[in-house]
Amino acid sequence: MNFLDRIIQLFLWYRFSFKRDLIKLAVGLMLDSMKSISIFCLRYSLLLLLVLLSHQTFSQEKKLVIQMDPLIRELIQFKIAQDKILFADYHYTIQIGFGSLQEMNDLKEKFETNFPHVVNRIIFETPHYKLHVGKSRNQVRLHQLLGEIKAYYPNAFVIENT
């Protein structure tokens, strides 16, 4: 059997056989080429053997399997649910003033005449009452509102409420 017949046989085996049969055939091809002492045959047989071995042995699959205890998955779902409850009221607001209750009621009336569409509320944090206006989870939108409010109330600033 000559060199070209062995290569044809090798490619047929490649399509229909297992890895160990391919390796046997490639080694046989190499041994035959060594007997005929053709450097051309030896060089290309060795190259073909290396290509086949690297393709068959070191190829990777696109499969990822993660094994975890079902309790871990349940714990993750519990943590997500708790975070939704905990951070449900997380938002940004604008504080435009602080002082006594009477001062804040007066400030609230003035604010409602200038900005009737903006939500506002008076809160108490020891030792002062504070007037908070606007409520948003989006800080960018609140900064746009702050730009409008600063024309009337220059000491206004954005705060985080939790």
Alpha carbon distances (Å) from 114 to 94, 108, 144, 151, 160: 15, 10, 16, 11, 24
Mean pLDDT within 128-149: 89
Pairing of strands 120-125, 128-136: antiparallel
Report which of residues 17 and 86 the model is more confident about: 86
User: Binning pLDDT at 50, 70 and 90, where does residue 122 land?
Assistant: very high
pLDDT tens digits along 153-162: 999 999 987 5
Report which of residues 91 and 113 the model is more confident about: 113
Q: What is the pTM of this model?
A: 0.47
CB atoms within 10 A of CB 143: 13
Mean pLDDT of the chain: 77
CB atoms within 10 A of CB 10: 20
Q: Is 58's pLDDT higher than 60?
A: no
Report which of residues 53 and 141 the model is more confident about: 141
**Gap between the Cα atoms of 10 and 6, Å rounded:** 6
Out of 24-28, 62-66, 95-99, the most confident range is: 95-99
Domain with CATH 3.30.70.1070 in the chain: 91-161
Q: Is 50's pLDDT higher than 80?
A: no
CATH of 91-161 among 3.30.70.1070, 3.40.50.10790, 3.40.120.10, 3.40.50.10490: 3.30.70.1070
**Gap between the Cα atoms of 88 and 91, Å rounded:** 9
CB atoms within 10 A of CB 17: 13
**Centroid of chain to Cα 140:** 23
Give the position of tokens 């046997």: 24
Q: How many helices (H) and strands (E) does the chain have?
A: 6, 4
